[in-house]
Amino acid sequence: MQQCGDCLKVYDESEDVTCPFCLDDERSNSFTDQSCEVCYGEGIEECTECNGEGIIDYTGEKCLGCNGTGERDCLDCNGTGL
């Protein structure tokens, strides 16, 4: 996967590039493969609403922020890991 440094869209190598910035050959070096510094490239992070527990302590009910998993898509990279 690659992320455009201009439009920040993440592209699969097999995906057609539609960004006008990405289509410009002179800007081909704007792609980066850097991992997200928040989730370390995993694309997920601990849910902050339940502190990774999957349930809300004071109610004992399933956390709606993560649907009870304790994890959610990284908010910094939108789950891309980049």
pLDDT at residue 36, rounded to an integer: 86
Reported as a pLDDT band with limits 50, 70 and 90, residue 35 is confident
Higher pLDDT, 57 or 76: 76
Look at residue 33 in the predicted model and tell me its pLDDT: 59
| Residue in this structure with the two tokens 């050959």, named with its chain if needed | 25
Residue 10, C-beta contacts closer than 8 angstroms, at least 6 positions apart: 1, 2, 3, 4, 80, 82
pLDDT tens-digit series, residues 37-60: 888 888 899 998 898 999 987 778
Question: Residue 72: what pLDDT?
Answer: 92
